Structure 1
Amino acid sequence: MKKSLLLLLVAAVACSAESGKQNQKKSDPPHGMSPPRNTMKAQALGMTPGEPAQTAKAPPRQSAMLPPLKKVAPVGPRGPAPLKVPGFRDASHTAPWPQGEWPKPVIVILHGNFDRPEWECETWNRAAGHLAWLLCPRGFPNPWATKAENRWTYRTHKELKKEVEGALAALEAAYPGKVTRKGMMLAGFSLGAILAPHFFQITGKLFSTLFLVEGGLERLNRKQLTLLKRSGLKGIAFAMGTSNGTRLVKPLLPFIRYLKLPVYFIEMKGAGHGYGPPFTRAAGPIIKEFLQLEHK
């Protein structure tokens, strides 16, 4: 009987061991295989398998991470556009393009009698719009033109001086930090060219250079050229389309060189009393040189 009990005890131990092996096979994956996906996910999150998953917090929106946008000063129009001038009628103006470094100098352009400031800004924009601000004062309605014709003129140097000063202040206020008065050029066409030399003298060295187109030669002599140099003139250029303009300007060139002033003459053959293709082609390099004279 003792022998029978011993055999039964051995058989019970063997059955218990076999059952443990089977349970282990059910819970552990075979060698070389990955554990179930939910187990891997829980381990990756630092959780014990079977724990409820916690909701992950979304990263902050990118817009909330960016600094606030700074206000950028306007860069102005590429083509002729009105500029409000307190106390006067709107001037026309264009901004330099491409923008490059700021601030940029100004070219003040006086139009002819029975003309419009927009015409001057448009013409000069093709030749020098990439170099400077172009500022074209309007003046007063021409008494010989109808309102529909929209033509303008200038009256006196005194009135023109106030209008130009107001237009420059308006340009600086409209584009803060973008405009410099250093090295400015005064230009004129026809009536504007006639007014320009004396206007240059009465503005207290406001301008550095002169550019006269189809006008201003009848009274431009050695005495006035000498006074212009004393008034701060650092360079002068001419563009003439009529034979009379060419005839008058050529005798002045040697004396201007004697004064040791840079001088240029653009002959616009066939243009008549107006602008021609030679101006658009040749004026740019001259203007660029003149605008840099103040910085040398």
Structure 2
Amino acid sequence: MKGVLGVWLCTSRLLLAATVLIIACRPQAEEPRAASPSSGGSNQASAAASVSAAPPAPPPSASSPQVGDAGAASKALPPLRAPQRLVELEVSGFRPATVSLPLGATEPRPILVALHGNYDRPEWQCMVWGELVRYAAFVLCPRGIPRTDAPKSEDRWTYGALGATLKELYAGLRALREAYPDHADVGPAVFTGFSLGAILGVHALGPEPGSSVARERGEEPPFQHAILVEGGAEGWHARRATRFVAERPLQVAGAGVLFGCGQHACRQQGTRAARLLTQGGATAQVAFGGNVGHTYDGQVAAAIAEALPELLGSDPRWAPLLAAPEGP
């Protein structure tokens, strides 16, 4: 019995010694390694641990631009681009107008509306007036109706009834602003007309019911200034002159009319009309290009160009454009 008990005790001691030896020799667990970039989802857990361990970022300074901060974004528009300067403009209910674009403009530019004469072309008006405004403003030239007695090869145009012409004029303004919503200024436009265009256009400047209906009162601002070339001077009277000044918006200073003439008779009529306008509170003058005939280019255009800064100089939208170098 004693021999069996001795064998058991000896065996137990050997087993205990072996267990202690195994535990003592077992290697310790390794620290987890950082995941490699190619380890898929493992690197997300590592990145999250790094972010949580990082110190909090300092709050942005008051001068730092924030998302949605209007002051952080530049107010300059993308430059106005087009394949060519003269383009066609679709006008709802009427034939396409011609427009001279202020290419390269990076801010809203004012609009000049030009009605051509009888047996004339809108493209010709836009070419001359684009140059006169240094290609720095929009020039809108409504087309009107074709001269049916002229050969199609001559491509000549006129205007119909007064009401239809005024409606086409204001429809063209709306179409232009819709086509160039960022670059086309929404303030008062400048009106110009040659011969028949000047005679009809006078009715867009005064208190006639036809003008109010065509404009749909309040939908378009009235014209601030007008240049009437070889026509329109005989259409002025004291009431029209007074109302022309009274209807001008207050946000743009001044109201003025320039009469451009290439004949002595036009200069005489323009001088009389300018006197009426001055008495009514407007600025008015006559630009005489010499007795060169019934025209709007050449010497007449040169005389108008000299007078434009005085006519439009009180309008902050126009003054810098007429003083700047010619556009591209």
Deviating more after overlay: 210-219 vs 155-164: 155-164
Within-5 A mapping of 1:184-263: 184-201=189-206, 202=211, 203=215, 204=217, 205-232=221-248, 234-263=255-284
Percent of aligned positions that are identical: 31
Query: Contact 2:256–2:284 (CA<8 Å) still a contact in 1?
Result: yes
When normalised by structure 2's length, the TM-score is: 0.62
Within-5 A mapping of 1:66-77: 72=78, 74-76=80-82
How many residues align? The count is 225
What is aligned with 1:80?
Answer: 86
Within-5 A mapping of 1:100-249: 100-201=105-206, 202=211, 203=215, 204=217, 205-232=221-248, 234-249=255-270
What is aligned with 2:96?
Answer: 90
Provide structure 1 residue ranges, at least 5 long, that are not aligned to the other structure.
1-70
- Report Cα offsets for 1:41-85 as digits up to 9, x if no partner: xxxxxxxxxxxxxxxxxxxxxxxxxxxxxx957434664322222
Provide structure 2 residue ranges, at least 5 long, that are not aligned to the other structure.
1-76, 249-253, 318-328
- Report Cα offsets for 1:239-283 as digits up to 9, x if no partner: 010111012112233332222322221101132000243443343
SS at match of 2:139: strand
Alpha-carbon RMSD across the aligned residues, in angstroms, is 2.6
Find the structure with the greater CA-based Rg. 1
Provide the rounded CA distance (Å) in 2 between the counterparts of 1:114 and 1:292.
33
Amino acid at match of 1:215: G
Q: Once the 2 structures are TM-superposed, how far is the Cα of residue 111 of structure 1 from its aligned partner?
A: 0.4
Query: Contact 1:210–1:237 (CA<8 Å) still a contact in 2?
Result: yes
SS at match of 1:170: helix
SS at match of 2:233: coil
Query: Contact 2:198–2:232 (CA<8 Å) still a contact in 1?
Result: yes
- Report Cα offsets for 1:73-123 as digits up to 9, x if no partner: 7434664322222322111111125x4541001000000011110011111
Q: Once the 2 structures are TM-superposed, how far is the Cα of residue 132 of structure 1 from its aligned partner?
A: 1.3
CA separation of 1:172 and 1:208: change in aligned 2, threshold 3 A:
same
Q: Once the 2 structures are TM-superposed, how far is the Cα of residue 164 of structure 1 from its aligned partner?
A: 2.0
CA separation of 1:224 and 1:252: change in aligned 2, threshold 3 A:
same
Moved over 4 A (4+): 71-74, 288-292
Amino acid at match of 1:258: Q
